[in-house]
Amino acid sequence: MLKIYNPTQRILIVKNKKGKIVKAYGGAIATEYWHKHLNKIATNSIN
């Protein structure tokens, strides 16, 4: 799973290993989802 976030357009695209788009989020949902994802990474790296 590859997550690509475009801050200028506020779009979050989730791709699978083959590069096929699985999910795409837009607007506030994308921003919120991305920040949750970043927090998860930060929390995991601390622990």
pLDDT tens for each residue of 12-34: 999 999 989 898 989 888 888 88
Position 35 scores a pLDDT of: 85
Extents of the domains making up the chain: 2-46
Percent of the chain with pLDDT over 90: 15
Task: With cut-offs at 50, 70 and 90, classify the pLDDT of residue 47.
Answer: low
Position 20 scores a pLDDT of: 93
State how beta strands 21-26 and 11-15 pair. Answer: antiparallel
Residue 17 has φ and ψ, to the nearest 5°, of -60, -30
